[in-house]
Amino acid sequence: MNILDKIIADKRKEVELKKAVVPVSQLENSALFKKETISLAEALRSSKSGIIAEHKRRSPSKSVINQDLNVQDVATGYENAGVSGMSVLTDGKYFGGSLEDLLYARASVKMPILRKEFIIDEYQLLEAKAYGADVILLIAAVLEKAQIKQLSQFAKDLGLDVLLEVHNEEELQKSIMPCLDMLGVNNRNLKTFEVSTDISKELSEKIPDDFVKVSESGISSVEAIKDLKKYGYQGFLIGENFMKTDNPGQSAADFIAQLDR
Ligand SMILES: O=C(O)c1ccccc1NCC(=O)[C@H](O)[C@H](O)COP(=O)(O)O
Closest residue (by CA) to atom 15 of ligand 1?
239
What pLDDT is recorded for position 159? 98
CA of 217 to the centre of ligand 1 (A): 6
pTM of the predicted protein model = 0.97
The pLDDT, as a whole number, for residue 97 is: 98
CATH of segment(s) 3-260: 3.20.20.70
Atom of ligand 1 nearest to the CA of 241: 21
Asked if residue 118 lies in contact with residue 8, where contact means CB atoms within 8 angstroms, the answer is yes
Q: What is the pLDDT along the chain (261 residues), one digit of tens a residue?
A: 889 999 999 999 999 999 999 999 999 999 999 999 999 999 999 977 999 999 999 999 999 999 999 999 999 999 999 999 999 999 999 999 999 999 999 999 999 999 999 999 999 999 999 999 999 999 999 999 999 999 999 999 999 999 999 999 999 999 999 999 999 999 999 888 999 999 999 999 999 999 999 999 999 999 999 999 999 999 999 999 999 999 999 999 999 999 988
Q: Is 56 in the pocket of ligand 1 (CB under 6 A)?
A: yes
The answer to whether the CB of 225 is under 6 A from ligand 1 is: no
The reply to whether ligand 1 has any atom less than 6 angstroms from the CB of 248 is no
| 119, 149 Cβ separation under 8 angstroms | no
Atom of ligand 1 nearest to the CA of 220: 21
Q: Are 136 and 34 in contact (CB under 8 A)?
A: no
Active site residues: 54, 56, 116, 165, 186, 216-217
Mutate to test the pocket of ligand 1, among 217, 220, 225 (most ligand atoms within 8 A of CB): 217
Distance 63 CA to ligand 1 centre (A): 11
pLDDT at 191: 82
The residue extents of the domains of the chain are: 3-260
Pocket test for ligand 1, best of 59, 62, 245 (most atoms within 8 A of CB): 59
Q: What is the pLDDT of residue 190?
A: 85
- The rounded Å distance from CA 59 to ligand 1 centre is 7
Give the model's pLDDT for residue 48. 76
* Confidence at residue 196, expressed as pLDDT on a 0 to 100 scale: 97
